[in-house]
Structure 1
């Protein structure tokens, strides 16, 4: 008898993880869903495989692990009232996090649940007589490999099993790397090339294989004093990135910030992304997370505002200043001015658009002193913003370079903020309906991975420089960033920081480039054991009936 997931909200209350380590999950039997066609059964089995991706990429899950642990993002205890959260964001940034961190636990649970759903789909789809079943099997297998790849990167292990009722085999190091590689290779032949970016395609697997091989030295020997990048791995990076680039299916976007617009699903730079369209499951909060509580991007919704979350560190900001002799605005990836208005004026709702990128200094926007926007007839008044929502109407929303964990450095105005992903025009609260798809693999990253492989394999500086400058030159909607005249690994690392900031690759990059044990704002911990996170304590406790099965990572 076939088993099938029912794609409805009712399912949410029926699914349960019985253990974080045996990856068991209750699956509805087809008998409870009479009348399903084979197509409905097939669709109902593949949908849950992708369903938790938006939750994994939530701002307090994967983002926190990949960005707040690095020099790109810092989240202080704002004003002594917001984002204290028992110190977990301070600890994450300072590399003093523990195995009870709830963001680590949530990310672990979501990844293991997604592996479980992939295994369940793989056990059922072969029994369904639908023309899409073969493709769905490949997608489920590839997604299982992807979720395991995230587990390997974050926690240093993978779970391997085929039978949903079996106990998973745990692998680390070389064995884990080889398992993920073999699964991607097995899935690739039956994947389509026309269903992205929200579903796994051949090009998506090529991009993930390139990333896997690029980080292979780390995954094989996590605590190495110096990583050994094998030429054969770099050859594979070049091979898979060549496939994507030569396919001609993807294009570097002329407008950098359009890659992150609320209608970016059809942007040709995206190869693989978290599908966040509101008509599906859109709820990414990447837009509101960093903004001030007095920045309101949507005239139609006076409750949609920021939350005074993380800022960039002065250390990261200074990489831009150094690169451009004090004026980073010459790089269109740094900032896009959309509000070209007098300091105090009125504007039609249709003409109002937030500035994008890294926001500095005094901020202007819609004025809402008493819960409603000030109107000028049919238009809206724009002016200098103050912290009205924080009951501090004399404190300007004036973002400063300084941000740290001191009382002055944690105030509401400290730290330059990031508005990279656009607010959804349908978001009534700022916390819902984030339509912008979140990039997992995009073409610029593919060029930069190829450039890095060229440098690491044979010091092909000319080839690497051509790839980096191709990305820079493509942003022609405004004046593109000036071409680089030279390239080396340090400059390439800096370039990845400029192109991919806040896209949840920074921690992985810092480890690979040997930067993660460095010192930056409020962080001095140099313990290489922090290159992976602790396995959540509740997972270890859940496996206590299997002595020795799930061992805590070193250093925790």
Structure 2
């Protein structure tokens, strides 16, 4: 056996072009001579998953999937924060270009993950370990998943079966066929006892359902009207049925428990990023939208928010219109979860450390929280912690309340630190001493509610079976029994289903894909009026185009860039 095993190695260069700053550590023979085959095999499969933590951060995949849509907007806060040469404004306005660093970073994460999967597939057969066949199946599944992400974002994938030579670039039906083939090949080879942080049969079925649901888009990215074939929709129904009927998954009675920092064992999760280990867990999705003067953890006076994106008034209006004249917070437990009595009991200004917990969901109006002075939290006389109305002290503007407003835009007034309703969907990680790191919550990719909604959409697109679609949607709504669930809907259509996906899956990095599939991505919303169909796919990063210049015609830029 060749003992010169290249653990944690990327073959990004072999895929296409020069590595520049993408080099990773190569462990030579002397580095692994004391490792068992089991340790080496574990290293290969761990490396295959490892790029997911960086890929699913706030400025990478979340940015591309949410800030490009009507759900999230990130202005130049106070003229000092989140300016970044206008890239977040460009993302929202659909004027992004091939030099965008976050598009480049997302591309690199996907390609590095792909290369690691190929390395694992190539090297694992050389090892004598009982998990080799399972790990090969998982690596093939991850290669297919990275390909699915690449197809969705960039309209193309790389097909590569070994570490040698150039990969083949394919688009459209050929890309769909390849992903389908890879997933079907491992459907019965993966374990059902390793999820949700690894590839299981449920994860494979979920990826297949997503592939078929979006196949009409992937075949013709710039079509005036997408053709969702009955055959594709039948396959969506087949694979969502497999997940639902497997008995392995269960809708969570408590909606926000799906996103708690102990959610790894939540039965609603089908496929997720396992963040339980401190070494790779990040808290970015929890801290990103909060104010810099919101401190969620008594133990860590440095752990705060960053005044990132708010939700657009357009998206908020969908909630308001659905439940008018009542407040959506009173009607739908997915909108908001109150955890602090100060919002209803102004006398509750002193809170025990064990009882302090910030609110979740869509946050509006004056915010209350721990009062911080000189780097420490103020205590009451009995040793509990003082809680009161917050102001923008960290922004050197103590006279500006942390009072989240509906209005948010790119004007000076609309870009101030407290504009926009905010989202705290994932629980702020209890170990996150800086607010940015050590998140324990698994980041959800596929969950059972999405599976039901995909099946409902397939019923509608295949035969306009509104009754079956309505049953699925209402089943999901009725499941949130930890509090009063939202009322049942009386009818169902594609427009209502689109709205329901917005209610159920907001801030979960589905919105761009949904908007394109439902024909909404060229619509106008706050600060966005661009109708360019070319923006349905992102540009291939200019750095990649430049790096492939030694192979003329190999890597061709996407249309319109």
TM-score (norm 1): 0.97
- Name which of structure 1's ranges 33-42 and 393-402 shifts more when overlaid on structure 2: 33-42
Deviations 1:413-434 (A, max 9, x none): 1000000001111111101111
How do 1:115-134 and structure 2 match up within 5 A?
Answer: 115-134=114-133
Q: 1:433 aligns with which of 408, 419, 438?
A: 438
- In the alignment, the residues of structure 2 paired with residue 265 and residue 3 of structure 1 have an alpha-carbon distance, to the nearest angstrom, of 36
SS at match of 1:441: strand
Match of 1:4 in 2: 5
**Contact 1:5/1:48, CA 8 A, preserved across alignment:** no
3-state SS, counterpart of residue 308 of structure 1: coil
Quote how far apart the aligned CAs of 1:149 are: 0.7
Q: 2:196 & 2:357 partners in 1: Cα distance?
A: 26
2:406 is aligned to: 401
Judge which range, 153-162 or 183-192, deviates more. Answer: 183-192
Kept in 1, the 8 Å contact 2:457–2:469? The answer is yes
How far apart are residue 165 of structure 1 and its match?
1.6
Are the aligned partners of 2:77 and 2:83 in contact in 1 as well (CA < 8 Å)?
yes
Q: Secondary structure at the match of 1:209?
A: helix
In structure 2, C-alpha distance between the alignment counterparts of 1:229 and 1:160, rounded to whole Å: 25
Partner of 1:367: 371
Listed one character per residue, the Cα deviations across residues 369-401 of structure 1 (whole Å, up to 9, x for unaligned) are 332111013210000111111011111100000
Partner of 2:302: 303
Per the TM alignment, residue 30 of structure 1 is displaced from its structure 2 partner at its CA by 4.2
Give the secondary structure class of the aligned counterpart of 1:552. Answer: coil
Contact persistence 2:18–2:548 (CA under 8 A)? no
Output one character per residue of 1:264-286: Cα deviation in whole Å (capped at 9) or x when no partner: 11111001001111445211311
Give unpaired runs (5+ residues) of structure 1.
Answer: none
Aligned residue runs from structure 1 range 65-464, under 5 A = 65-326=64-325, 327-329=327-329, 330-341=331-342, 342-343=345-346, 345-376=349-380, 377-464=382-469
Contact 1:23 1:113 in 2 (8 A): no
Contact 2:18 2:547 (C-alpha < 8 Å) held by counterparts: no
Which residue does 2:38 correspond to in 1? 39
Q: Which residue of 2 aligns with 1:473?
A: 478
Instruction: Tell me the residue number matched to 1:18.
Output: 13
The answer on whether the counterparts of 2:14 and 2:165 sit within 8 Å (CA) in structure 1 is no
Shift of 1:4: 3.4
Q: How many residues align?
A: 550
Contact kept in structure 1, 2:281 and 2:437, CA below 8 Å: yes
Structure 2 partner of 1:538:
543
For each residue in 1:452-475, what CA deviation from the matched residue of structure 2 results, as whole angstroms up to 9, or x when unmatched?
Answer: 000000111111011001100000
Whether contact under 8 Å (2:10, 2:112) holds in the other structure is: no
Structure 2 counterpart of 1:493, from 487, 498, 503: 498
2-structure distance, mates of 1:432, 1:222: 37
SS at match of 1:469: helix
Q: CA deviation at 1:435?
A: 1.0
Instruction: Give TM-score scaled by structure 2 length.
Output: 0.96
Shift of 1:159: 0.2
Shift of 1:232: 0.6
The alpha-carbon deviation at position 21 of structure 1 amounts to 2.4
Other structure's SS at 2:311 match: coil
Structure 2 vs 1, CA of residues 434 and 523 (structure 1 numbering), >3 Å: closer, same or farther? same
The alpha-carbon deviation at position 29 of structure 1 amounts to: 3.9
Contact 1:404 1:522 in 2 (8 A): yes
CA contact (8 A) 1:369 1:388 kept: no
Preserved contact between residue 11 and residue 116 of structure 2 (Cα < 8 Å): no
- What's the counterpart of residue 558 of structure 2? 553
Please report how far the alpha carbon of residue 303 of structure 1 lies from its aligned counterpart in structure 2 after TM superposition.
0.4
Cα deviations across residues 132-182 of structure 1 (Å, max 9, x unaligned)?
000000000010010011000000000001121210000001101111111
Q: Check whether the contact 1:214–1:453 (CA below 8 A) recurs between aligned residues.
A: yes
Q: Which whole-Å deviations, capped at 9, do the CAs of 1:473-509 have from their partners, x for residues lacking one?
A: 0000000000001000000000000000010010000
1:280/1:189 CA distance change after superposition, 3 Å: farther
Is residue 23–residue 168 contact of structure 1 (8 Å, CA) maintained in 2?
no
- Measure, in 2, the Cα distance between the counterparts of 1:4 and 1:196: 27
Q: Does the CA-based 8 Å contact 1:160-1:171 persist in structure 2?
A: yes
Task: Give the secondary-structure state (helix, strand or coil) at the position aligned to 2:373.
Answer: coil
User: In the aligned structure 1, how far is the partner of 2:187 from the partner of 2:29?
Assistant: 29
* Cα RMSD after superposing both structures: 1.4
Asked whether the equivalents of residues 15 and 160 of structure 2 are also in contact (C-alpha less than 8 Å), the reply is no
- Distance (Å, rounded) in 2 between the aligned partners of 1:63 and 1:73: 10
Whole-angstrom CA distance in 1 between matches of 2:398 and 2:283? 29
